[in-house]
Structure 1
Amino acid sequence: MFGECHAHIIMDGVNYRQAIDMHKNGPDDQIIREHLKAYQDRDITFVRDGGDALGVSARAKELAPEYGIDYRTPVFAIHKEGHYGSIVGKSFATMREFHGRVLEAINAGADFIKIMTTGIMDFNAHGAVTGTPLDAAEVKEMVHIAHEEGMAVMSHTNGDYGVQAAVEAGVDSLEHGNYMNEESLNMLAESDTVWVPTLVTVRNLLGDGRYADETLKPIIEFAEENIRKVFKLGVKVAPGSDAGAYRVLHGKGIQDEMKAFTEILEESDIVCHWLSDGESEIKKKFIRR
């Protein structure tokens, strides 16, 4: 069984505000254990978390060995003040403060560093990403600082400018990567960056009613076409579902993600081998040394 290369154990796939509130007085071991059990029940033995601001993923890492799970976490994600990311981490205003956050994460037991360089998809405007992406020079310096401290970098990034800036900066994995054009895809193919597309964060919304299916289908179709392209280009890709996001349940999320890949590419054995190679890259890169 494949591992889960992008999860948020602090969330529950139902209501993220309520899920986060459950941990406001400290990580709730019972909830964490329920989520870890969901992975154990599906023979999932590797989970890479995307971090949170309340120490929940750090606690999950402590408990995970009881469930036979290799759990990796950045402890918290790092975002620039005034930009997207407070939901999963801590902010910085200057590069000196960013370096301080990196050291804080390391001291807290982080396996890697996670940065937020753009917003998220704007469901009200197809092809648009919320907020303003970080400047490419800034992203490059952030990645340089993390690498100088011996840490791999996981980058939450969407849109062409954001993706190209992140890949050029040398991020070790690119999370989401929605709305990439041909140039972005070719840059990925020529890099060592592993892409984790998290397809089911949108696919699992179909028929839910939160967004009209007419809004979701073009997004899904665009993502499917890019998956076909990167498969042919030989881009390094690893499976991660963003488990904990709305309608993406722990344990089941990665099964949904694998189903999406095989439905899109219709070559089950070859696709599994391709994704297995990508997951192996994640395991090799995202470990504290």
Structure 2
Amino acid sequence: MFGEAHAHLFMNGYDYRKAVETHKGHIEETVLRGYLEEYRKRGVTFIRDGGDDLGVSSFVKTIAPEYGIDYRTPAFAIHKNGCYGSIVGKGFDTVKEYESLVLEAKKRGADFIKLMVSGIVDFSRYGVITSTPLTREEMREFFHIAHEKGMAVMVHANGAETVRNAAECGADSIEHGRYVDEEAIEAMAEYHTIWVPTVVTVRNLLGCGRFPDEIVKRLYEEDCRNLRLGKEKGAILGLGSDAGAYLVPHGKGIEDEYRTFQEIFGASEELDNFLRKGEEELRERFQRS
């Protein structure tokens, strides 16, 4: 089985608030070991977490080797105050505060930095991304600071201009990447930015009744077109499901993501080799130097 390039071990796949309650003030080790066992049973030996502000992913890193899993974490995600990201990390107002958070993450044993540069998709309104994105100049400075500290940057980004700016400014990976266009895809390819599209965060919503199906279907069809174009343009693609997100269970999420790629591209040895190259690039790039 492939590795899971985007997970949140503190989340439970159905209720974010319940997940926070489970670990707030104490870490529920039994629950986390259950998740790790789900990965182990499926032959997953690599997990890249997206971080949290509860200390969960830092704890999981200490026990994951017991399950034969190479587990990488940013400790917590970083976001600009007033912008999206508080659900998975810590906020800053100034460049100096951002640099302090980078150093704090490193001190906590982070393997890389996770930076939120945009909001999330509003599944109730097509074309809407919540929150104002960071500017091109901010991204360039923040990526540079992390790289100077020897840390790769995992970037949560949606929107064509935001993704293009992030790729051109030195993002090591783009997570999600909804609403990209050809220019943004070409930028990811040109700058060797790894794209982890987390397709099942959309696909698994089809028919669930939580959001209008016509919008979810439109988003999924757009994802399929963009991923085909990405592969055609030479973008590096990685398998990550955003496990722990709504309707994306730990362990099963990455299997769903892989099957979705097979549906989009057709099951083949060529696809498997392509995805393994992406995973190899992820493993190499997202380790602390």
TM range (shorter): over 0.9
Q: What residue number does 1:120 align with?
A: 120
CA shift at 1:188, angstroms?
1.1
> Which SS does the other structure have where 1:154 is aligned?
strand
**Per-residue CA distance 1:148-170 (angstroms, 9 max, x = gap):** 00000000000012101211111
Conserved? CA contact 1:10–1:56, under 8 Å: yes
Q: What residue number does 1:104 align with?
A: 104
Q: What residue number does 1:72 align with?
A: 72
- Whichever residue aligns with residue 195 of structure 1, its letter is W
Partners of 2:104 and 2:88 in 1: CA distance: 15
Q: What residue number does 2:44 align with?
A: 44
Q: What residue number does 2:206 align with?
A: 206
Count of aligned pairs between the two proteins: 289
Q: What residue number does 2:266 align with?
A: 266
> Which SS does the other structure have where 1:22 is aligned?
helix
Displaced runs of 4 or more, over 2 A? none
Partners of 1:232 and 1:3 in 2: CA distance: 23
> Which SS does the other structure have where 2:47 is aligned?
strand
**Mapped pair 1:275 → 2:275:** yes
- Judge which range, 116-125 or 77-86, deviates more: 116-125
Partners of 2:165 and 2:234 in 1: CA distance: 20
- Whichever residue aligns with residue 188 of structure 2, its letter is L
Partners of 1:129 and 1:212 in 2: CA distance: 16
Conserved? CA contact 2:74–2:111, under 8 Å: yes
Q: What residue number does 1:21 align with?
A: 21
Conserved? CA contact 1:49–1:71, under 8 Å: yes
Q: What residue number does 1:8 align with?
A: 8
Partners of 1:25 and 1:280 in 2: CA distance: 36
Conserved? CA contact 1:53–1:76, under 8 Å: yes
Q: What residue number does 1:245 align with?
A: 245
Q: Percent identity?
A: 53
Conserved? CA contact 1:45–1:68, under 8 Å: yes
Partners of 2:212 and 2:159 in 1: CA distance: 22
Partners of 1:183 and 1:199 in 2: CA distance: 20
CA shift at 1:127, angstroms?
2.0
Partners of 2:279 and 2:19 in 1: CA distance: 28
Query: Structure 1, unaligned stretches of length 5 or more?
Result: none
- Judge which range, 219-228 or 184-193, deviates more: 184-193
Conserved? CA contact 2:207–2:213, under 8 Å: yes
Q: What residue number does 2:169 align with?
A: 169
- Whichever residue aligns with residue 174 of structure 1, its letter is I
CA shift at 1:235, angstroms?
0.5
**Equivalences for residues 109-258 of structure 1 within 5 A:** 109-258=109-258
Partners of 1:26 and 1:134 in 2: CA distance: 33
CA shift at 1:141, angstroms?
0.4
> Which SS does the other structure have where 2:52 is aligned?
coil
Conserved? CA contact 2:164–2:185, under 8 Å: no
CA shift at 1:212, angstroms?
2.2
- Whichever residue aligns with residue 204 of structure 1, its letter is N
Q: What residue number does 1:87 align with?
A: 87
- Whichever residue aligns with residue 192 of structure 1, its letter is H
Partners of 1:258 and 1:267 in 2: CA distance: 10
> Which SS does the other structure have where 1:162 is aligned?
helix
TM-score, structure 1 as length reference: 0.99
CA shift at 1:267, angstroms?
4.3
- Judge which range, 125-134 or 58-67, deviates more: 125-134
- Whichever residue aligns with residue 78 of structure 2, its letter is I
Conserved? CA contact 1:133–1:161, under 8 Å: no
**Per-residue CA distance 1:197-246 (angstroms, 9 max, x = gap):** 00000100111110121121100000000011011111001000000000
Partners of 1:267 and 1:12 in 2: CA distance: 29
- Whichever residue aligns with residue 101 of structure 1, its letter is L
Partners of 1:123 and 1:32 in 2: CA distance: 29
Conserved? CA contact 2:120–2:129, under 8 Å: yes
Conserved? CA contact 1:6–1:48, under 8 Å: yes
Conserved? CA contact 1:26–1:55, under 8 Å: no
Partners of 1:272 and 1:90 in 2: CA distance: 36
- Whichever residue aligns with residue 136 of structure 1, its letter is R
CA shift at 1:26, angstroms?
2.0
> Which SS does the other structure have where 1:246 is aligned?
coil
Partners of 2:47 and 2:237 in 1: CA distance: 16
TM-score, structure 2 as length reference: 0.99
